Amino acid sequence: MEDCTFVIFGATGNLARVKLLPALYHLDVAGRLPEGLKVVGFGRRDWSDESWRAQAQEMFAGAGNDPAVVERFCARLFFFRGDLGEADVYPALRDYLSGGQFSPNLIFYMAIRPADFGKVSRHLGEVELNRENGGWRRLVIEKPFGYDLESAESLNRRLNQDFEETQIYRIDHYLGKGTVQNVLVFRFANLMLEPLWNRNYIDHVQITHSEALGTEGRAGYYDGAGALRDMIQSHLLQLLTLVAMEPPASLDAESLRDEKVKVLRSIRPIPSSAVNAHAFRAQYAAGQVNGEQVQGYLDEPGVPQDSVTETYVALKLLIDNWRWRNVPFYLRTGKRMEKSNSMVSIRFKHPPQQLFRETQIERLKPNWILLNLQPHECIRMEMQVKQDGLELRAETTRLDASSCGINPSQLDAYQALLLDVIDGDHSLFLRYDEVSWAWKVVDPILKLWATERDFIHTYPSGSWGPPEADRLFVRQDQRWRNLLEDEES
Ligand code: BG6
């Protein structure tokens, strides 16, 4: 791996502190960082190299960390003081970076407000920090990429004026999660699944991401975004593509992303007259989470009293292709739910003949494959077997992968992604057409909801969301699966 300089715009912010520095540190511990990698923090605060290093020392010292590695990591940190809105700062940054102490391979990481992405890109272009003279340049963009289709297009146009597509890395941190990548391995390394993975055998698919947490001081961002933009347009649609895609020609970045785009393009558009039949939104009210009383969304600091921003979304999508036609994909996410969990649940159809009708079970329960992504990692199959005893009765048994459980060494998604940026691998980053097709899926819903500003359903914090969301199901025998341990009701 080549040496490089990792410039973080927004180095004094939350993302840098909570995700980027720890990920870089752990990569250093694992010996994965190039020796000459240096990190330049760009921020407005009155920090210096020394003060930033001292903070990092404090952050990583102790907890069984090797002092020599902490020392080595801190020596990589440099701080450049500046206001990213001021054009004069950029020539100074260019001179600083080209002064000889840094590798000419530059990564610019935008850990800043999305509204500033375009501005910083333009300023970098103005001082030719986008030009690959003597070293490569990479621009890393955090989500959200745009606010809707139109703003995403305009941001993309802006970035393309300054950077080539090959230089741009659009992050969706879900793709850095080992368990999410496991969806690909599970599907494409197990031949026995392929004949079943289609509309002939699968009744429906659920993708659920629930969180016990609320907005955690992010109301300023969240109230303008809402759950549909925050989770569905990005992470859950990405997960859907991995579950639904055709086998790619190879695992290189373009083949993989071509297949994901095909899925997104095949999602049946939702006309505004059908939004209510496909999407349901709600907002958390006060309630109890893990035995603690918590306030409702409207009482969170920074949330306007009349906000109708959704903290919960359930969405039904249909993919119009040979494999999936008429198989509903239910996507669901919510904050302040009973538990935090992410799971892909695949329900198979009933066997064509009810052979065991005489055995006092009304109907055989169908098979499920459950891919629990977090906090537990688990692959589970639910099968029917004969109950103990003289009767020929069936009951559900669970076949769990032996690796099920909490994986203590679970790598943070950012470690994998930052390593890929350093290595120049685009596979786990979003190509613009993916982003754009994902916006096309949710745009009609956003547009309609933007006009319906006087009412939103609520659900008590600590619940599994509003029961009204059940109306999305196309058949009466469909039910939400919330957690791995829940029996199908
Ligand atoms: C972020 C969203 O992208 O993903 C947050 O902005 C959400 O609102 C988070 O909580 C969930 O990520 P994870 O890795 O905790 O499942």
Asked if residue 420 lies in contact with residue 173, where contact means CB atoms within 8 angstroms, the answer is no
Ligand 1 atom nearest residue 143's Cα: 3
Counting ligand 1 atoms within 8 A of each CB, the residue from 113, 173, 209 with the most, and so the one to mutate, is: 173
Tokens describing residue 428: 């786990």
229/316 same-domain check: yes
Share of the chain above pLDDT 70, in %: 97
CATH number of the domain within which 109 lies: 3.40.50.720
DSSP letter string over 432-457?
HHHHHHHHHHHHHHHHHHHH--S--E
In-domain check, residue 274: yes
Q: What is the average pLDDT score of the chain?
A: 94
Q: Which atom of ligand 1 is nearest to the CA of 177?
A: 14
Coil, strand or helix at 38: strand
Indicate if 60 and 192 belong to the same structural domain. no
Interval between CA 264 and ligand 1 midpoint (Å): 21
Tell me how far the alpha carbon of residue 82 lies from the centroid of ligand 1, in angstroms. Answer: 29
What's the mean pLDDT in 138-149? 95
In a domain, 234, yes or no: yes
Identify whether residues 225 and 336 lie together within a single domain: yes
And the tokens for 305?
């009293």
Query: Which DSSP category does 480 fall into?
Result: -
pLDDT, tens only, 279-331:
999 999 999 999 999 999 999 999 999 999 999 999 999 999 999 999 999 99
Going from the C-alpha of 103 to that of each of 75, 198, 268, 425, the distances in angstroms are 15, 50, 48, 19
Instruction: Answer whether residue 231 shows pLDDT above 80.
Output: yes
251: region left, alpha or beta (phi > 0 left; psi from -120 to 50 alpha): alpha
Residue 120 and residue 254 share a domain:
no
Residue 322, both tokens: 């040979």
Pocket of ligand 1 (CB under 6 A): 211, 230
Q: What is the pLDDT of residues 440-452, one digit of tens each?
A: 999 999 999 999 9
Same domain, 89 and 234: no
Same domain, 109 and 235: no
Q: Which of 101, 120, 142 is the last residue of a domain?
A: 142
Closest CA to 260 of 230, 291, 239: 239
pLDDT band at 489 (very low <50, low <70, confident <90, very high): very low
Amino acid 35 reads: E
| CATH number for the domain harbouring residue 199 | 3.30.360.10
132 with 184, same domain: the answer is no
Give the pLDDT of residue 362: 56
Tell me, in angstroms, the distance from the centre of ligand 1 to residue 177's CA.
Answer: 12
**Which pLDDT score is estimated for 363?**
66
Q: Model-level pTM? A: 0.94
Nearest C-alpha to atom 11 of ligand 1 is from which residue?
Answer: 231
Phi, psi at 220, each rounded to 5°: -55, -45
Q: How far is the CA of 249 from the centre of ligand 1 (A)?
A: 31
Residue 217's pLDDT is 87
Can you give the residue range of the structural domain that contains 93? 5-142
Choose which residue among 211, 221, 340, 412 to substitute to test ligand 1 binding: the one with the highest number of ligand atoms within 8 A of its C-beta. Answer: 211
Assess whether pLDDT exceeds 90 at residue 225: yes
pLDDT bracket for residue 364 (50, 70, 90): confident
Based on the fold, state whether residues 25 and 134 are members of the same structural domain.
yes
d(CA 309, CA 160): 32
CB atoms closer than 10 angstroms to residue 58: 10
Residue nearest atom 5 in ligand 1 by C-alpha distance: 230
Distance between CA atoms of residues 417 and 429, nearest Å: 8
Tokens 């904050």 belong to 335
CA of 222, closest atom in ligand 1: 8
* Residues with active-site annotation: 235
Residue closest via CA to ligand 1's atom 4 equals 231
The burial class, CB within 10 Å (0-12 / 13-18 / 19+), for 218 is: middle
pLDDT tens column, 21-77: 999 999 999 999 999 999 999 999 999 999 999 999 999 988 788 999 999 999 999
The span from the CA of 8 to the CA of 13, in Å, is 10
Closest atom of ligand 1 to 234 CA is: 3
If you measure from the C-alpha of residue 298 to the centroid of ligand 1, how many angstroms do you get, rounded to a whole number?
Answer: 20
Q: Respond yes or no on whether the N-terminal peptide bond of residue 375 is cis (omega within 30° of 0).
A: yes
Read off the amino acid at residue 340: S
Give the residue from 234, 237, 248, 238 showing the smallest Cα distance to 185. Answer: 248
* 133 and 191 inside one domain: no
